[in-house]
Amino acid sequence: MRPVWRVADVRAAEAGLMATLPPGTLMQRAAAGLARRCALLLADRGGVYGARVLLLVGSGDNGGDTLYAGARLAGRGAAVSALLLNPGRAHAGGLAAFRAAGGRLVDRPPAVVDLVLDGIVGIGASGGLRETADQLAASLVRHCGRDGDRASVVAVDVPSGVAVDTGHVPLAASGRPNAVRADVTVTFGALKPALVVGPAAPLAGQVELVDIGLAPWLRGTPALRVTEWSDLVDWWPRLGAASEKYSRGVVGVATGSATYPGAAVLSVGGALAGPTGMVRYAGGARAEVLHQHPSVIATGRVADAGRVQAWVCGSGLGTGEEAAAELRAVLAAPVPVVLDADALTLLVDGSLADRLRKRDAPIVVTPHDREFTRLCGESPGTDRVAATLRLAAWMNAVVLLKGDRTVIGTPDGRAYVNPTGTPALATGGTGDVLAGLLGSLLAAGVPADRAAAMAAYLHGLAGREAARGGPVTAPDVADALRPVLARLGAAVGSAGPGRRDRPGK
């Protein structure tokens, strides 16, 4: 997992590192990495020599990084212009180097621009862009390069205007984001929350981390961690010569009803795609489930389902007394449970709070924003990570807060973010597939926090896979899990031995 650090931690690390280096070394390292990435972008647009580059330069070190990078590009033959938003506070050393390299100062953007560097504000800013900067940010889409295409925008460290520690983006009066939208963000030393979570993350575009030597100086606990493919390869349960259906784990699925049979079919489909060896279904959609998935063992009630190693409960279950009785039966089982959709609605009145508190086995809840609001009495707000962690501590459960960048929080304060989300998943029933897959991972013995991170990651990849064929439906996502998991299986096989089946039956 890749760690993500708050501004205060980054600042402390920078101070420690700079005390060991000659003055200006850190800024030169950052500028060199920034210029290198810009040169790569320009290589795809006719080359660095003769390219038209515009620097939007604010005050402080972020503006200095931008000016030094512009000087390097000018030294390679680019025509580099700098628009200083606060000329009296521009970084003196960077400005001198920029002028010495042949860069020129302008008071308005040139007519032709291949590449824009956003150095308006850095990680120390807050509160969105001021009026002049906001107008510049809004105008970037109108600039075109020598090839006639829109100018590429590179953010320096973070897109200007975003709340760095939370990923929140204020809105302008028109309703658009009051921040720069970048194609690429070149960040220095460490990932920051705004690059990976919240509405700021899509504004960052492709994120490239430049190593400036900061890692040994980053101390304490990261704000959150980003799940990576290599994590899934390490965590996925391995099969062995002695594996059989019970040793692989059995997952119980208490979802759907006569009114919502599709929820049962979809959640069972997600469970079957996972690593367990058997799925037991309990609910009012037995006929539909067996028609679609004949390998499933189906009964009408949780009490009749037989032994399982984890339960999935809620999707399409209903909110009446019969549904509440099934939820109570699931919570009484001494195994991990996934609570989704209607199960979360049944928790809102607090009547099951004692059952939740008395459980020793893990609980994973999977709310979207509206369900989160019903559970908490307030929306996730501007800090989705903090909101997720509050709910996790209050419920003593792992919380998977769905969204474009799904956040996972644990009761002991650890947070993860999923990087594979896609708007294609914003369609009915995809959450049912996710819940089933998550339950399968729990039944296979994967710890709850890892199971949630893995399920979100694979679900996102399946959404992207399904979108390749056109508009996405939930059955498409369930079907797309198989090629995604085939790729994961190949990677797991190449990686060699790992954790084997769970012991016993």
Q: Are 249 and 307 in contact (CB under 8 A)?
A: no
Interatomic CA distance for residues 196 and 211, integer angstroms: 18
Q: What is the pLDDT of residues 421-430, one digit of tens each?
A: 999 999 999 9
pLDDT exceeds 80 at position 505: no
Average pLDDT over residues 257-283: 97
Average pLDDT over residues 234-254: 91
Q: Write the DSSP string, 429-462.
A: THHHHHHHHHHHHHHTT--HHHHHHHHHHHHHHH
**pLDDT at residue 499 in the model:** 53
Interatomic CA distance for residues 82 and 339, integer angstroms: 54
Q: Are 374 and 344 in contact (CB under 8 A)?
A: yes
Helix (H) or strand (E) holding 337: strand 337-339
Q: Are 77 and 49 in contact (CB under 8 A)?
A: yes
**pLDDT at residue 131 in the model:** 87
DSSP state, residue 243: -
Residue type, 374: R
Q: What is the pLDDT of residues 271-301, one digit of tens each?
A: 999 999 999 999 999 999 999 999 999 999 9
Average pLDDT over residues 99-120: 96
State the average pLDDT for the chain: 95
- State the first-to-last Cα distance of the chain, in angstroms, to the nearest integer: 32
Q: What is the pLDDT of residues 375-419, one digit of tens each?
A: 999 999 999 999 999 999 999 999 999 999 999 999 999 999 999
Residue located via tokens 């030094």: 68
pLDDT exceeds 70 at position 330: yes
Q: What is the pLDDT of residues 447-492, one digit of tens each?
A: 999 999 999 999 999 999 999 999 999 999 999 999 999 999 999 9
Interatomic CA distance for residues 381 and 366, integer angstroms: 17
b/e burial code for range 336-370 (CB count within 10 A of at least 16 → b) = bbbbbbbbbbbbeeeebeeebeebeebbbbbbbee
Share of the chain above pLDDT 70, in %: 98
pLDDT exceeds 80 at position 102: yes
Q: What is the pLDDT of residues 165-180, one digit of tens each?
A: 999 999 888 888 999 9
Q: Using DSSP, how many helices (H) and how many strands (E) does the chain show?
A: 17, 18
Residue located via tokens 């990932």: 191
Burial class of residue 407, CB neighbours in 10 A (0-12, 13-18, 19+): buried
Average pLDDT over residues 141-168: 95
Residue type, 237: P
Q: Are 237 and 500 in contact (CB under 8 A)?
A: yes
Interatomic CA distance for residues 42 and 27, integer angstroms: 22
Q: How far is CA 101 from CA 80, 230, 472, in A?
A: 9, 43, 52
b/e burial code for range 130-167 (CB count within 10 A of at least 16 → b) = beebbebbbebeebebeeeebbbbbbbbbbbbbbbbbb
**pLDDT at residue 198 in the model:** 95
Average pLDDT over residues 323-345: 97
Interatomic CA distance for residues 278 and 252, integer angstroms: 9
**pLDDT at residue 501 in the model:** 53
**pLDDT at residue 37 in the model:** 98
Q: Are 333 and 306 in contact (CB under 8 A)?
A: no
Model confidence at 503, pLDDT cuts 50, 70, 90, reads very low
**pLDDT at residue 174 in the model:** 82
pLDDT exceeds 70 at position 227: yes
Model confidence at 498, pLDDT cuts 50, 70, 90, reads low
Token duo for residue 354: 């004692």
Of 170, 167, 162, nearest to 120 (Cα)? 162
Q: What is the pLDDT of residues 51-78, one digit of tens each?
A: 999 999 999 899 999 999 999 999 999 9
Share of the chain above pLDDT 90, in %: 88
Interatomic CA distance for residues 65 and 313, integer angstroms: 52
Average pLDDT over residues 360-379: 96
**pLDDT at residue 504 in the model:** 40
Provide the 10 A C-beta neighbour count for residue 277. Answer: 18
Name every residue whose Cβ is closer than 8 Å to that of residue 180 and which is 6 or more positions away in sequence. Answer: 118, 120, 129, 137, 140, 153, 155, 159, 160, 161, 203
Interatomic CA distance for residues 427 and 311, integer angstroms: 24
Q: Are 374 and 349 in contact (CB under 8 A)?
A: no
